[in-house]
Amino acid sequence: MTVNLDQKQDGADNSGTLKYDKEEVKRILLDESRLSLELFEKGISYNVEEINKIKETVGADSQFGRRGGLPGFYLPHGISANANFSRWTPYSLAVEDGRVLLYDEQRRIGEITFQKSHPVSEQLLSTGEKVRDIVGVNAQGGVHVAYSNECSLKDLGEDCLYCAFNVRAKDGTRKVNLKTPRQVAEAYDLARRAGTANHFRITGGFVPERRELEYYIDVADAIKEKYSSFYGVAIIGAPADLSVLPKYKEAGFSNISTNIEAWNKNIFAVMCPGKDKRNGGWQHWVDSLEASVDIFGKGNVHSTIVGGLEPKESTLEGIEYLASKGIVCHFTAFRPEKGTALEGYRSPEASWHWDLLDKATGIYHKYGFNTLQMYSGPASGPHSAGVFRIKAGEFEGDRLPLWKFPQID
């Protein structure tokens, strides 16, 4: 998708800097965003040995990609993307003169660059684990921790049908089954001293409510032994007693996320049987989100819907309703995972997901959310934040620059 941008008639300003037609750049960046969804759907063909050599040379970070596939990467104009390997796809990668080029059949789209791991990820904690064993350091300058491999819904036979959390927990890829508050705080400290950790995101499997609250408070307290404050989001299940919600704010979290997964209440009950039975049902999840706005403020409360589990109109209805209440409802692209109840099903086509992405980002702008709020929720935030920024004109020249969380004092 390398396109020659039209320069304005005068060609350059007095400094000699090229001028770009902003609307043309916006179109190109939106086209590249659509391409990222095509790659997600159709995959990419490549020579594994060649790409592995490049990954090792540049220090590409598999945390940004999917297990067993490519790391996350940037398309020619700065749009982030990821894709699995596929033989049956028009898209391919070729290594030419040390550069990785993306092709659509025989048409060259342009050079891609792999996302790189932060050097702090390899540092050791006092307990011997590496930082990356405890937290993930993301491209936006934040850290993410999934504090345990536990999701108790599996033993109850009430797993969310699409979720591979328990499947991944037993495949041996996670080295630390339960991360102690001390380990999390030490990893956070190392990352923050390395100039990152400007956002802290914590989540985990479904655990008894009291244990979840106590653990999050213990983690926050351990961090605050060294730092007076931190900026982050607690991703929780809807508590049975909504009066506990202020405790997360009191602990130091600036944002909270309660992921509803499906807006249609009947589909929610089928897809998320444990969430439906253990947390008061769909209406209670909505009540929890609305109550959180009174505590954390507009734009600091988040949720996620899995895009493709229900009709598009239903998902958009949920995004619009929650936005009207001050809640940023993110969404992911449903991807059937091996070992789950929906293995073998198909996600809607990229064009379906693009229409959802286009309309949802319009809703976010309509209700006055900002870029920081788009990134400050669950991991699904960056999925739509890029398009949100393009529509706001937050690009430079012909590229969408990497956005990073503001530095914490």
Domain boundaries, the chain: 7-114, 119-391
Structure-token pair, residue 378: 């669950």
As its CATH architecture, domain 119-391 has: Alpha-Beta Barrel (3.20)
Q: How far is CA 247 from CA 199, 219, 253, in A?
A: 19, 13, 9
Do the strands 232-235 and 200-203 form a parallel or antiparallel pair, or are they unpaired? parallel
- Secondary element (H or E) of residue 182: helix 181-193
Structure-token pair, residue 158: 């009430």
- CB under 8 Å to 266, separation ≥6 — which residues? none
Print pLDDT tens along the chain (409 aa): 444 443 333 344 555 455 679 999 999 999 999 999 999 999 999 998 898 888 877 767 655 444 456 888 999 999 999 999 999 999 999 999 989 999 999 999 999 999 988 999 999 999 999 999 999 999 999 999 988 776 766 667 777 888 877 666 555 555 557 899 999 999 999 999 999 999 999 997 766 556 889 999 999 999 999 999 999 999 998 998 999 999 999 999 999 999 999 999 999 999 988 888 877 899 999 999 999 999 999 999 999 999 999 999 999 999 999 999 999 999 999 988 888 889 999 999 999 999 999 999 999 999 999 999 999 999 999 999 999 999 999 999 999 999 999 999 7
Place of tokens 């999917």: 66
3-class DSSP state of 306? strand
How far apart, in whole angstroms, are the C-alpha atoms of residue 56 and residue 74?
17
